[in-house]
Amino acid sequence: MIWKGVNAMPITFDQQHHVFKLDTSVSTYAFMVYQENYLVHLYYGAKLPDTDLSYLMYRGKFDSLSPYNPKVEDLFFSPDIQPFEYPTNGAGDFRISALSVRGGSGDAVTDIRYVSHKIYDGKPSLPGLPATFAQEGQAQTLEVEAVDAVTGVKATLLYTVFEDYPVITRSVRLENGGKAPVVLERAYSSCVELPTMDLDMVHLWGKWWNENNTERRALQHGITSIQSKRGMTGSNHNPFVAFARPSTTEESGEVWGMNFIYSGNFAIDTEVDTRGTTRVLMGINPTDFRWRLEPGESFQTPEAVLVYSDKGLGAMSRTFHHFYLDHLCRSEWAKKKRPLLINSWEAAFFDFDDDKLVAFAQEAKKLGIEMLVMDDGWFGTRNDDLRGLGDWYVNEKKLKGGLSHLIERVNALGLKFGIWYEPEMVNPDSDLYRAHPDWAIRAKGREHSISRYQCVLDMTRKDVRDNIFQQMYEVLSQNKIDYIKWDCNRNITEAASATLPPERQGEFFHRYVLGVYDLMDRITTAFPHILLENCSSGGCRFDAGMLYYAPQIWTSDCTDPIERLTIQFGASLCYPVAAMGAHVSANSRASVKTRGVVAMSGTFGYELDPRTELTDEEREVVLQQVADYHKYYDLIHFGDLYRLTAPTENPYLADWQFVSPDKNEALFCRVIMRRPPNLYQSVCLAGLDPDKIYVDEETGKAYSGALLMHGGIDLSAYDYANNYDGDSFMKHFVVR
Ligand code: GLA
């Protein structure tokens, strides 16, 4: 055994009580093998020393209409009542089911029972899917095998516990061990059974330009579903949800956070039953999903991540942040300082040539910017958004002398060079479409809808992916490219693939996502040193699946810092600051200073014409910002984030703070959205060491951590009366 964790063994099976226990540093997750080999859920919450937890399977009395299994010698057991580890359809459990398999006889009754299990060190990767990973000694995995006796379908439930984090990951491998083909109609990745409905659900909803609004509401009886049917994650709902006790706050109380590592049609379904208990399923959206398994074939569900916190939403978020940087973002850039960039989009849109880009680079260099990103418009006949997508060769009318020549000129100024792609898309007005009209997604006999003048390429097809890969490879291998922005500006309609037989068309959406992952995998494997930024009209595909390949994601096309406060606060519930693409643009009423303060709590960069869109005074502000960016990089990107005053809860102010891992440094940030009415302005800091002495770098005044956290910092001296319209400031504290 090479396990190195603080717990002797994080995963145990108690032979006497048939109980599996999965222990993290602060939580316990437990389930048992019951009579007739039912897999019954017992507990998920604060860490417990006990092993006999079986009484927790009884949640309310037997109901007179509840079906029962006569072989079970227990008057209180019914599939209608008990919490299940992976609930199935049609065999007595009338709640939402995680698994429904239509077998050779045509019915969809599914009933899996425990067969065996194994516990081992490490964590397996999931074929074709993004997933969390662990080095030797960092994780332990449990595989529980359960079989449906009639169809022969075998479900292997995978659980991994990580050494350093209160995290459990889950997924399911389904295999047709029978003799007839079967169809998976529901195949979720995880089920969590909470014994109460006295919980608030927290989730992120939004739309283009206004992503990640945080909503918190009390659970009610019935089914609530958060989902996407767009083929991509979308910005309407993020595949993240948290359940908090009503009294839970940012820094106290219990919360169960759940996130799905997937970039396609997802569903997070919550059912509160009439006993007042709560079942939460997370997985591929069963709408438009039918997956056929021939005998011997198998299907791997994507991975779900479960985080338990007994210290509020803040601690849950910090767990997700560090966990994702350590165990999900596989890019070499995950924990490396990223170059400070300027992007051409809002500066020029499609109206640029090589000289203009070089002029941007020249000005940007004077400001200390380290990389020029050439956004949309460099390829094919792309002079507007009407045409050109799919033709990934350089437009030499725009870039005279070719791409290499442009890059040489930019590099000669000391800047790196980045480029924009939208690999999954094609305009009908393009050479690619004219040559291969059948490569655009379209259901047989139907026209395809158009969105932003473009269609989606059929990424389920290897020949399509090969073509796009080859086109990208040529540009990327022949030019010195340091960064790619991978965009995706429409969703999927009239979904079908010309190459799938009718009985497999229900596989289209998931196969699309697998195709995108395959292409991303090929690009990032061929060019491991390129920094990949994901984007989908801003944050319309902001998910953990993308983070596996791209350590940063453009958070929103909206770059106004006041709007961005809500967007970035929301995203930070689950995703690290180091993942959030954020730029200072000219597109805002707020000061350049405030645009910088907000963008700095993201990847940071600029997206404006550096020649014409900055006054001399603003240039000075930018120079200071660039210096601050370097000074605070590690603190902001790899420290702990504390959300002190949320812009959704306070109409006047937003406050947040970073603390370094050794607690020797803290950075407080405040944005004033409106003039606050109270004359006394004081904020208690969080996360400091109470015994350390912190010096306010600006005033030289020293405070104990305890004083800053309980007495607070007095911010009343600031001139709120005259600077209330989007002004901001930061305060840096360092241990003496
Ligand atoms: C999307 C992105 C923008 C920009 C444009 C280019 O809208 O979100 O940042 O790249 O596409 O067309």
Give Cβ neighbours of residue 689 (< 8 Å, ≥ 6 apart). 663, 705, 735
Residue 157 Cα distances to 145, 149, 271, 364, angstroms: 6, 17, 21, 52
Helix/strand/coil percentages in the chain, nearest 5? 20, 30, 45
* 32 in Cβ contact with 162 (< 8 Å): no
Q: Give the pLDDT mean for 51-63.
A: 88
Pocket test of ligand 1: the residue of 208, 352, 375, 452 to mutate, having most ligand atoms within 8 Å of its CB, is 375
Residue 490 C-alpha to ligand 1 middle, in angstroms? 11
DSSP string of 558-601, one letter each residue: ---HHHHHHHHHHHTTTS-GGGEE--EES--SS-HHHHHHHHHT
Count CB atoms within 10 A of the CB of residue 466: 12
Q: Is 438 a catalytic residue?
A: no
Rounded Cα–Cα distance for residues 119 and 731 (Å): 49
Marked catalytic residue, from 375, 376, 458, 487: 487
pLDDT of residue 587: 87
Ligand 1 atom 4, closest CA: 345
pLDDT in tens, 230-279: 999 999 999 999 999 999 999 999 999 999 999 999 999 999 999 999 99
Residue 650, pLDDT score = 94
The span from the CA of 354 to the CA of 334, in Å, is: 31
Distance (Å) from CA 452 to ligand 1 centroid? 11
Ligand 1 centroid to 364 CA: how many Å?
21
| Nearest residue (CA) to ligand 1, atom 1 | 537
SS (H, E, C) 373-395: EECCCCECCCCCCCCCCCCCCEC
pLDDT at 77: 94
Tokens of 19: 């109980």
With tokens 């991994």, the residue in question is 160
Q: Which atom of ligand 1 is nearest to the CA of 557?
A: 8
> What is the 536 CA–ligand 1 centroid distance (Å)?
7
Q: Whose CA is nearest to atom 6 of ligand 1?
A: 376
Determine the atom of ligand 1 nearest the C-alpha atom of 536.
8
User: How far apart, in whole angstroms, are the C-alpha atoms of residue 25 and residue 14?
Assistant: 19
Task: Please give the distance, rounded to the nearest whole angstrom, from the Cα atom of residue 421 to the centre of ligand 1.
Answer: 10
Tokens of 182: 């079967």
Condensed to tens digits (0 to 9), the pLDDT of residues 649-677 reads: 999 999 999 999 999 999 999 999 999 99
pLDDT tier for residue 13 given thresholds of 50, 70 and 90: very high
Residue 153 CB contacts under 8 Å (≥ 6 apart), including other chains:
101, 103, 110, 112, 147, 174, 175, 176, 177, 178, 182, 293
Active site residue 482: no
Residue 4 clears pLDDT 70, i.e. is over it = no
For 274-298, how does the pLDDT look when each residue is reduced to its tens digit (9 = 90+)? 999 999 999 999 999 999 999 999 9
pLDDT of 528 reads 98
- CA distances (Å), origin 223, targets 60, 268, 273, 370, 440: 19, 10, 8, 50, 36
pLDDT category of residue 61 using cuts at 50, 70 and 90: confident
- Distance of CA 628 from the midpoint of ligand 1 (Å): 27
Q: Tell me the best of 350, 387, 421, 537 to mutate to test the pocket of ligand 1, counting ligand atoms within 8 Å of each CB and taking the most.
A: 537
The residue whose CA is least distant from atom 12 of ligand 1 is 376
Residue 375 Cα: closest atom of ligand 1: 10
Give residue-wise pLDDT tens across range 145-190: 999 999 999 999 999 999 889 999 999 999 999 999 999 999 999 9
Q: How far is CA 658 from the centre of its chain?
A: 21
- Quote the CA–CA distance of 187 and 185 in Å, as a whole number: 7
Q: Is this prediction's pTM over 0.95? A: yes
Per residue in 682-733, pLDDT tens? 999 999 999 999 999 999 999 999 999 999 999 999 999 887 778 999 999 9
Q: Ligand 1 atom closest to Cα of 349? A: 6
**Average pLDDT taken over every residue of the chain:** 96
Give residue ranges with CB within 6 A of ligand 1: 345, 375-376, 420, 487, 489, 535, 537-538, 554, 557
**H helix intervals, 413-503:** 431-435, 462-478
pLDDT tens digits along 195-226: 999 999 999 999 999 999 999 999 999 999 99
Q: Is the model's pLDDT at 123 over the cut of 90? A: yes
State in Å: Cα 538 to ligand 1 middle. 7
Q: Residues 701, 705, 708, 709: what is their CA dihedral angle, to the nearest 10 degrees?
A: 180
User: Pick from 665, 671, 555, 538: which is nearest to 602 by CA?
Assistant: 555
Q: Residues 281, 264: contact at Cβ < 8 Å?
A: no
Nearest CA to 237 among 3, 542, 493?
A: 542
Q: Containing H/E element for 113? A: strand 112-121
Instruction: Please tell me the predicted confidence (pLDDT) of residue 1.
Output: 38
pLDDT of residue 8: 62
Alpha-carbon torsion (422, 428, 434, 438), positive or negative: positive
| Strand ranges in 180-277 using DSSP code E only, listed in sequence order | 182-194, 200-207, 210-218, 222-227, 237-244, 255-261, 266-272
Q: Could you tell me if 492 and 456 are in contact, meaning their C-beta atoms sit under 8 angstroms apart?
A: yes
